[in-house]
C-alpha cells in the first residue's frame, strides 16, 4: 500500500499554534507505506527560525522540537488511519543520536502494532537522528498538584537565567529560578498570549488549541535542568574549549494537563545522579495547583563544539 498527501492538505488540519519555526509547523511530504506505517519529511532551511536563539554560534535543532514533530506526525497518522481522538499522552523513551543542523533534510518513520504504543525513528542521509516510543490515549487526565514544590519559599534569582543560559531570543524559556543547593532548582516560566507561538491566535479557539506547545514545555523544563547542571560545572569545556550541555535521552514524560496563556509554570527539577560529563535528572511541572507533566528521567551530557561539528558532518 502506498499513498501520499500534499503539504497543503496536512497543514489545513494542523494545530495553528505549535511553534514559531515554519519547518516544525509543516511537513514537506507524508507517505503511507502500510496500514500502520507512515513517513514524514522535513526540510530545514539555513535561516529557519527553529535554530534561532538555540546555542547561538553553534545552531542545532532543539531535541524538544523533534519531540513536537513526532507528536504531531503520530497524531496525524492515527487520524488518517481512522483512530480519531487518540493523542500522545506520554513519552516512554526518546533517544537522540545525531544532531539536526541548518540545511538538513530529516525523515520521521511512524509505526505501531497496537495504537496505544507508537514507534518513531528520525533519520537523515547516512545517520539515525533519534528513536523512541510514545504512549497514546483518548485524552489527558487532569491531576491535582498536592506537593508544595511549586510554592517553595526559596528566594528567586531573576538574573541567573539570563547570565548563564547560552540561549537567545526567542528560545529563552526560563524567566527566573530558585536554587536549593546543587541538587534541586525551581525554574519559572510565565506564559503569555504575546509569545511567538501564539502569533496566529484568534477568537473562538478552544482551550486545547491554546495549549502551550509540547516542544516549548519540555525545552523550558530542560533549560531549568541546564541551570541546575551549571552549578556542577557542565558548561565548562575541557582544556579551555567551548562545551554545550545537550540532552541525549528522555524517559517517562507524562502529559497530564494543558498549560495555557496566563499560567506560571513551576519546573521542580531534581538531580538523580551526576558524573563528570553525564547526568540524570527528574521532576515535574505545575501551574495554578495543577500538575502539568512529570519527567521520570532526562539524561544530559556535555559535548564540545568540535565534537558536535564532527557529528553533524558525519556521512
Q: Which residues are catalytic?
A: 54
Distance CA 21, CA 239 (A): 35
Q: Which long-range contacts (CB under 8 A, 24 or more apart) does 27-32 make?
A: 27/69, 27/73, 29/4, 30/4, 30/5, 30/73, 30/76, 31/2, 31/3, 31/4, 32/1, 32/2, 32/3, 32/4, 32/77, 32/80
> Among positive and negative, which fits the CA dihedral 33, 39, 40, 42?
negative
Distance CA 134, CA 69 (A): 12
Distance CA 91, CA 100 (A): 20
> Contact, 43 vs 152, CB < 8 A?
no
C-alpha cell at 262: 496566563
Q: At what angle do helices 214-230 and 63-80 cross, to 10 degrees?
A: 160
Question: What size, in residues, is the chain?
Answer: 315
What φ, ψ does residue 37 adopt, rounded to 5°?
A: -135, 130
Amino acid at each position: 500500500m502506498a499513498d501520499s498527501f500534499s503539504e497543503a492538505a496536512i497543514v489545513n488540519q494542523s494545530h495553528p499554534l505549535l511553534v514559531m519555526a515554519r519547518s516544525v509547523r509543516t511537513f514537506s511530504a507524508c507517505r503511507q507505506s502500510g496500514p500502520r506505517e507512515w513517513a514524514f519529511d522535513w526540510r530545514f532551511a539555513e535561516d529557519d527560525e527553529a535554530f534561532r536563539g538555540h546555542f547561538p554560534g553553534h545552531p542545532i535543532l532543539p531535541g524538544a522540537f523533534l519531540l513536537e514533530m513526532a507528536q504531531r506526525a503520530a497524531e496525524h497518522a492515527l487520524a488518517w488511519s481512522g483512530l480519531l481522538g487518540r493523542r500522545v499522552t506520554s513519552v516512554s523513551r526518546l533517544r537522540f543520536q545525531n544532531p539536526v543542523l541548518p540545511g538538513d533534510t530529516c525523515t520521521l518513520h511512524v509505526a505501531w502494532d497496537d495504537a496505544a504504543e507508537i514507534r518513531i525513528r528520525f533519520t537523515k542521509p547516512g545517520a539515525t537522528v533519534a528513536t523512541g516510543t510514545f504512549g497514546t490515549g483518548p485524552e489527558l487526565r487532569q491531576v491535582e498538584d498536592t506537593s508544595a514544590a511549586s510554592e517553595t519559599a526559596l528566594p528567586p534569582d531573576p538574573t541567573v537565567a539570563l547570565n548563564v543560559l547560552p540561549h537567545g531570543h526567542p528560545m529563552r524559556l526560563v524567566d527566573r529560578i530558585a536554587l536549593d543547593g546543587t541538587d534541586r532548582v525551581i525554574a519559572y516560566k510565565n506564559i503569555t498570549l504575546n509569545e511567538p507561538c501564539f502569533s496566529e491566535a484568534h477568537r473562538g479557539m478552544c482551550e486545547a488549541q491554546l495549549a502551550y506547545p509540547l516542544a516549548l514545555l519540555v525545552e523550558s523544563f530542560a533549560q531549568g535542568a541546564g541551570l541546575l547542571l551549571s552549578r556542577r560545572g557542565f558548561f565548562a569545556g575541557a582544556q579551555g574549549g567551548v562545551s554545550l550541555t545537550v540532552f541525549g535521552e528522555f524517559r517517562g514524560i507524562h502529559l497530564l494537563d494543558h498549560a495555557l496563556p496566563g499560567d506560571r509554570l513551576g519546573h521542580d527539577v531534581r538531580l538523580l545522579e551526576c558524573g563528570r560529563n553525564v547526568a540524570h535528572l527528574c521532576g515535574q511541572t505545575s501551574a495554578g495547583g495543577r500538575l502539568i507533566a512529570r519527567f521520570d528521567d532526562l539524561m544530559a551530557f556535555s559535548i564540545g563544539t568540535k565534537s558536535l561539528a564532527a557529528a553533524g558532518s558525519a556521512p
